[in-house]
Amino acid sequence: MASYHHGDLRRVLLSTAAEAIAESGPAALSLRELARRAGVSHAAPAHHFGDKAGLLTALATQGFDLLADALRQAGDDLLDTGVAYVGFAVRHRAHFDVMFRPELYRADDPELVAARARSGELLRGGVARRTGREPDADALAAWSIVHGFATLWLSGALPPRVGDDPEAAARTVIGRLFS
Amino acid sequence: MASYHHGDLRRVLLSTAAEAIAESGPAALSLRELARRAGVSHAAPAHHFGDKAGLLTALATQGFDLLADALRQAGDDLLDTGVAYVGFAVRHRAHFDVMFRPELYRADDPELVAARARSGELLRGGVARRTGREPDADALAAWSIVHGFATLWLSGALPPRVGDDPEAAARTVIGRLFS
DNA sequence: GTGCCATCTTGTCAATGACAAGTTAGGGTG
DNA sequence: CACCCTAACTTGTCATTGACAAGATGGCAC
């Protein structure tokens, strides 16, 4: 049929891309493979995103928005915020994988910059509420520990002994920051 | 000239690859571009490494060995070990970038597995000496915080306020783990 | 000096990203 | 209702790439 005006292609391409990246990483992503999965012509993705970097920019932007949502839902407690960060990374692996690899996308895209700023604000806010101190060093330590744990978990570098529940393990690890 | 028996091609290709990756990330690495930079034919890299994944496997293995060296030089203090970890990531950015991205290489390669085990041992050793406690959770927390800081630093996600000396900033951040 | 074999080359193929140019349909305007 | 105007897609093409096959070269053992 190849009916024109799919109507929803942009959204479908984004979620299909997320699936593909979750399976084999951003490096293996192919626009043409994506188009095939979505049942459209090989040049359709380029129309919506310009090029591959454009697609990944959109994906990263969506990722920062999803992260902001997750952090908001976690409430005010810093420990919960940290666990939510790890939970986001595990649940939205593809987004997370792209977000912190700025060489893959256009890091100066206005929408992306705005979304990134929003999620960063929430992160810093959680730390300030907990410690009351000058948040700089504490925020950096908290962000580092949750980001590091999430990254190591996703890379499969952690020994099996850590278990299979990333959020529970994260809670233990983050706890060490306040002992 | 195109003299056969370059003699040192494997080593040259590895260091050239590290340069290229440091410039534009592992995704942008091209075997043919590499061959061009080294002044050899477009198929020479494949001879030494089989394929792209083979090259990255070799690079990751070399990376784990370099990390082990850096950790050994740091001595017994846990804080110094952590700073050394961050220092390694910054100084050998390309290696670090590849090491924790197992989908890019053959993670079950015997040499790589051995090198990774060696550096892991040094990391755990540093933690055990400092705390004396059951090292699992502490080691994980320490590894997470240094790995997270290094990753965030390299990704450029940190605000300028953190400064331009990653090792000094790392020392402050890691200190928060024992306060 | 002869043969062997690791090292490197040339040649080729399918797949890919990017771009140019064409096609379709749906909504607003007259 | 006819028109067209534009966003949403398509077809076609090109240079580049990774992988592989087959050939060339030269040092080294014997």
Q: Does A178 touch chain B (CB under 8 A)?
A: no
Query: CA A106 – C1' C19 distance (Å)?
Result: 20
B25 CB and strand D closer than 7 A: no
**C1'-nearest nucleotide to the CA of B53:** D18
Contact A137, B162 (CB under 8 A): no
- Please judge whether A145 and B145 are an interchain contact, meaning their C-beta atoms are less than 8 angstroms apart: yes
3-state secondary structure of B179: coil
A55 CB and strand D closer than 7 A: no
Rounded alpha-carbon distances, angstroms, from residue B39 to B25, B54, B59 = 22, 20, 20
Sign of the CA dihedral with A95 first, then A101, A104, and A107 last: positive
Rounded alpha-carbon distances, angstroms, from residue A15 to A19, A22, A62, A135, B15 = 6, 11, 10, 36, 37
End-to-end CA distance of chain B: 63
Task: Return the domain boundaries, chain A.
Answer: 51-178
Name residues whose C-beta falls within 8 Å of residue A21's C-beta, 6 or more positions apart in sequence.
A29, A59, A93, A94, A97, A98
Give the nearest chain A residue to B148 (CA atoms): A148
3-state secondary structure of B111: helix
Give me the architecture of the B50-178 domain, per CATH: Orthogonal Bundle (1.10)
Q: Does B160 touch chain A (CB under 8 A)?
A: no
pLDDT digits (tens, 9 = 90+) for B2-45: 355 666 999 999 999 999 999 999 999 999 999 999 999 999 99
pLDDT digits (tens, 9 = 90+) for B63-110: 999 999 999 999 888 999 999 999 999 999 999 999 999 999 999 999
Contact B64, B47 (CB under 8 A): no
Count of A–B CB contacts within 8 Å?
108
Residues from chain B that touch A141, judged by Cβ atoms under 8 A, are 145, 173-174, 176-177
Tens place of pLDDT for every residue, chain A, 179 residues?
Answer: 335 556 689 999 999 999 999 999 999 999 999 999 999 999 999 999 999 999 999 999 999 999 999 999 998 899 999 999 999 999 999 999 999 999 999 999 999 999 999 999 999 887 666 555 555 788 999 999 999 999 999 999 999 999 999 999 999 999 998 76
Q: Which CATH class is domain A51-178?
A: mainly alpha
> Could you say which of B25, B107, B149 has the minimum Cβ distance to residue A103?
B25
